[in-house]
Chain A
């Protein structure tokens, strides 16, 4: 495999965890609920998945536990922001800390667990023989990578072509209109926040049980939750763009490692090869981009131009006029 195929292959694997988390956040935000607690939900999913797998010896059971844990945490957020109408940013941040703290406590001693099963790895015959695309997408991949491939068109179709998708978008754009036609805004928002939490939990489980197996306390998710939130903005709330973004960000992380291993790039001396201190700048890159995206996304005017759901972040109260 050549240099780039290596990077993108790792990118697709890394990106799969990112993909699940991003899709989850995308669903919640499409329904009008911002959930900044993705990192916390991922950590909870990661520890629950790994711990359960270690205890039962069944990786699939572990994955299920991870999804439940993420879902449970997201329900807390749903109660606070949908029913109690608290500020979504504050609740989301609180959820991050709660999730991270709980995960660290529950994960005590888990780092030294041995013989924890992982999820199966597959290669797709024939397809994996394709030049470049074979190794990048189809050779020696976690089963969850293939689940990710399926999720992209399914979500796209769901959001843009089904009745349920129409309702989802309406609830995020103008909940009062949906409510006046008998759509249960509260129920839908609960559902999509929960779906977001389950997917974040899945993302966490994907990391500990398949992509980089093991429990490394808060470094397990290494900020993927925040990157996911930024990706939703980059993707302008579109699942296909979100997927491309997830794989690219995944690749970027691998690139920062591999970039130090070669002497020349395009015939120019590679500074990262010669000065190990510059490595920090490379490692910083995904997070710097994340901060940039969050900064851009926090400007209401820009957000509107990017096509954010118009009611994103706003609680819905029946009978109130001009909730927009």
Chain B
């Protein structure tokens, strides 16, 4: 029977030391799109994993069409008509679309596979909802947007009539998002219930009928989308007023601090990822690099800071050739780096706050003399950084892995910016960071730029790039397709992110 209503009643989920969900009540009905809004760590994903049978609630119950149900595994949830589209696609890359869909299903031919039957049905469903994809294509050959369709098809094939979509737009270009919303509307019109998880306010506003906001594991509000606005939603999410637009003093045209010429680098699979990229960043400006994830931004950043082998071209800092310099030499040259993978490259997880804060400067006086640390000097120095950069930590000795993402990022920011770098490479500085910390990081980046640092900002968040940058370079398949002013519309940037060349 298709789902009419699903209710979560008083759901609590306790992990060791954390109450991830605290007596959450939530309901969703057929024919509506419910947005579940909240910051990272607010408990959205945990709640949805409970609904999909991946976690068991510590307390509370789930009712489908008024009947209380128990889910032991995702298979039980699927049997009740609940499907989940994960943020990280659960697809076998080496399988065809049809094989992925057929996985785990009964076959019409008993123990044998019935891929022809599956392919036929996939085509029918595709035609019905606009989810066109070739059932015989191998998944790894599909674009990200198409892989997402396969995920949705998998759920529909299993007669799911409640679809949980976990941050589905994170991997899509703005055009793909529009297309994706079209699919969601068709699914809603066909009488399905949808739960749309996001922390992007404008998307929630654009697609949902109703919004439920989670904060610290609790429901802090539920409103009809039409009766609210982005500002109010942001306040509910964070618990206070949030500034999203910054007053920036106009950029002062100054000398070029970072010059990249025809830079080439390979990705981890040894395929060309950065193809003859040339960029100049002047002192006192932020050059934003926009692009869909995986178009060479990460490799570009790593090549520039000396962490990835440069296969061609050159990098200059303040006119000095630093191509093929080691990361240590780049630091000497005045380059600071906020890495994309902050837990891996940005910090040493097991080290304390203090140790992480002095990772770069620990060999210099006054922090150390000869081979020994001056712990008093270290503590004074770190205490000042922690205060100045608003890092919320129980103590300087706390292992850094116990801090929240936002506070870890502020600590990295403190370490990198306190050296007064000439060039700052910031890769995804606010990804996975809550709105409050994002606000703070944005403020600091702008201050740094106004103080004369050349900032190369790499971000997949278009709103962020547009808000902070003085110029925006769009990267697609390892090349810069154009450099445009920050006033460029999202639509135009989106076209460029999909590879459309900008006539200059």
Residues of chain A having any CB pair with chain B under 8 Å: 161-167, 169-170, 173-174, 176-183, 301, 307, 310, 318-319, 321-322
Contact = CB atoms under 8 A, between A and B. Distances in A.
B111 A162 contact: yes
B156 to A, nearest CB: 14
Contacts, number: 75
B39 interface: no
B340 to A, nearest CB: 14
Counting chain B residues whose Cβ lies within 8 A of the other chain, the interface size class is: 20 to 34
Contact of A162 (B78, B86, B112): B112
Given A178-B104, A181-B74, A166 B99 contact: yes
Interface stretch (B88-96, B415-423, B450-458): B88-96
Given A163-B113, A319-B55, A181 B95 contact: no
B84 interface: yes
A179 to B, nearest CB: 7
A178 B95 CA distance: 12
A166 B103 contact: yes
B100 interface: yes
> Secondary structure at chain B's binding surface: helix, strand, loop or mixed?
loop
A166 B102 contact: yes
Interface of B: 49, 54-55, 73-75, 78, 84, 86, 88, 90-95, 99-100, 102-105, 107, 111-113, 154, 269-270
A173 B92 contact: yes
A164 B92 contact: no
B95 to A, nearest CB: 7
Residue among A179, A180, A318 with most chain B CB within 10 A: A180
Given A162-B111, A166-B102, A182-B75, A176 B94 contact: no
Per CB-CB distance, the 10 closest pairs between chain A and chain B, nearest first, are A182-B75, A181-B104, A177-B90, A174-B92, A180-B90, A173-B92, A183-B104, A177-B92, A170-B92, A182-B104
Given A166-B99, A177-B92, A181-B78, 5 more contacts: A163-B111, A163-B113, A166-B103, A174-B92, A176-B90
B74 A161 contact: no
A170 B103 contact: yes
A170 B105 CA distance: 13
A177 to B, nearest CB: 4
A318 B73 CA distance: 11
Nearest to B268: A301
Contacts of A165: 113
A167 B103 contact: yes
Contacts of A179: 74, 90
B113 A162 contact: yes
Contacts of B100: 177
Residue among B88, B91, B104 with most chain A CB within 10 A: B104
B357 to A, nearest CB: 28
Contact of A318 (B54, B94, B105): B54
Nearest to A318: B54
A180 B55 contact: no
Nearest to A301: B270
B166 to A, nearest CB: 11
A222 to B, nearest CB: 36
A174 B90 contact: yes
A321 B89 CA distance: 10
Given A173-B93, A181-B104, A161 B112 contact: yes
A164 B84 CA distance: 24
B46 to A, nearest CB: 10
Contacts of B269: 301
